[in-house]
Amino acid sequence: MSEDKRLAAIEAHQNNPFSIAQEQLREANKYLGLSDGALAVLMQPMREYHCSLPVRMDDGRVEVFPAFRVQYNDARGPTKGGIRFHPLETIDTIRALAAWMTWKTAVVDIPLGGGKGGIICNPKELSAGELERLSRQYVRYFGHILGAERDVPAPDVYTNPQIMAWMMDEFYWQRSYNQPGSFTGKPVEVGGSLGRGDATARGGIFCVREAMKKLGMKTGNSTYAVQGFGNAGQFAAILMKEILGEGNKLLAVSDSRGGVYNEKGLDVSALIAYKHETGSLSGFPGGEAITNEALLELPVDIIFPSAIENVITGDNAPRIQAKISCELANGPTTPEGDSILCERNVFVIPDFLANAGGVTVSYFEQVQNGDNYYWDIDLVHERLDKKMTRAFQSVYEAHEEHGVNMRIAAYIVAVRRVARAMELRGWV
């Protein structure tokens, strides 16, 4: 192998999300001291499934879409995790996300394990009918491993409540009875929960509130920037003001096509309306253009990486100026970037804590489906706040006790709970 190819292979391994997830687990185990057997179990998925989904397109031809489902660990309960539709999806991304979902459900202490699914496709190029046929085909091929007692999917990248409704309906036709808790993130009209739409961002804002208390920051007059203006990013922009005070100022926001910056502050409602109308933030008249890379390096109090993996690295971490990074995306910071942020006293609220509000309200949805009794929005928000605040406090206590960054502290809390469940069940 040539030196160039060797270096390229090393770089690919370092940026592989599952390699990063495994490296983070090994780092946490320095403080946990798991047995060799327990660590070996937790380093790999318990089960994973690969299928090729044939779908008849609108023009009559048949196209085949690779699809995956990974059930990482179910020691604490049925696996739980979203389904992603993305043209660049990979099995290693799905493995990493399933691992992080395992730690996510554990860190907020809900009785579920971690799973994830995906289809390699470009949903932007599919008609509504093609999307429905693809969604139903996923359940036809994977339905035998799904269900409220086994593995519960939910929306993720480029999937939504309508797709969950189609999948739930296909599952109904397989089983000949309704089991609404088999899928979450559904429309409210067919068993979804109030409060699910903004739950990921809302949980993150609750964590920001607690972090600001610990850091002695005032909650009503901060500046912030949002990288990634999808569901979580848009709600983060809204809820920073709604929950923590109208005096908070959004200075910059970006999507995959670029972003916009205004040092005097951006109008959140106008931004969302413009994005919905044009499909992009490019050309928004209320500020000047800014790149995704430059946004992360702005002198703001809080940044919300809310887009994709590996956007904060060893290269740009030395230039991050925010006091708090609240990771609403999965895996936005590489291990090297993490170390540098820690050295520079940037307080990172790690992804599987920061964005755990989504799975928490999905769990609430399952509980409501099982009881056939549905909560009002105030009760959902109250219980989410309690869960997220308690989870943050547990992680912060581990952070102080072990003198580690918040990510490793979150691993310590979560992995200890999963390992204890495996021990009690006699697996290790």
- For the chain, list residues with pLDDT below 50: 1, 3, 5-13
pLDDT of residue 260: 93
pLDDT of residue 2: 52
pLDDT of residue 396: 97
pLDDT of residue 12: 47
Is 218 noted as a catalytic residue in this protein? no
Question: Secondary structure of the chain in the HEC alphabet?
Answer: CCHHHHHHHHHHHHHCHHHHHHHHHHHHHHHHCCCHHHHHHHCCCCEEEEEEEEEECCCCCEEEEEEEEEEEECCCCCEEEEEEEECCCCHHHHHHHHHHHHHHHHHCCCCCCEEEEEEECCHHHCCHHHHHHHHHHHHHHHHHHCECCCEEEEECCCCCHHHHHHHHHHHHHHHCCCCHHHCCCCCHHHCCCCCCCCHHHHHHHHHHHHHHHHHCCCCCCCEEEEECCCHHHHHHHHHHHHHHCCCCEEEEEEECCEEEECCCCCCHHHHHHHHHHHCCCCCCCCCEEECHHHHHCCCCCEEEECCCCCCECCCCHHHCCCCEEECCCCCCECHHHHHHHHHCCCEEECHHHHCCHHHHHHHHHHHHHHHCCCCCHHHHHHHHHHHHHHHHHHHHHHHHHHCCCHHHHHHHHHHHHHHHHHHHCCCC
Of the candidates 80, 104, 116, 275, the residue annotated as catalytic is: 116
List, for residues 251-278, the tens digit of each pLDDT value: 999 987 889 999 999 999 999 999 988 8
pLDDT of residue 192: 95
pLDDT of residue 13: 43
pLDDT of residue 257: 82
* Residue ranges covered by each domain of the chain: 47-179, 199-354
Q: Do domains 47-179 and 199-354 have the same CATH topology?
A: yes
Which fold would CATH assign to domain 199-354?
Rossmann fold (3.40.50)
pTM (global) more than 0.85: yes
> How many Cβ atoms sit within 10 Å of the Cβ of residue 115?
34
pLDDT of residue 331: 84
Which fold would CATH assign to domain 47-179?
Rossmann fold (3.40.50)
List, for residues 344-397, the tens digit of each pLDDT value: 999 999 998 999 999 999 999 999 999 999 999 999 999 999 999 999 999 999
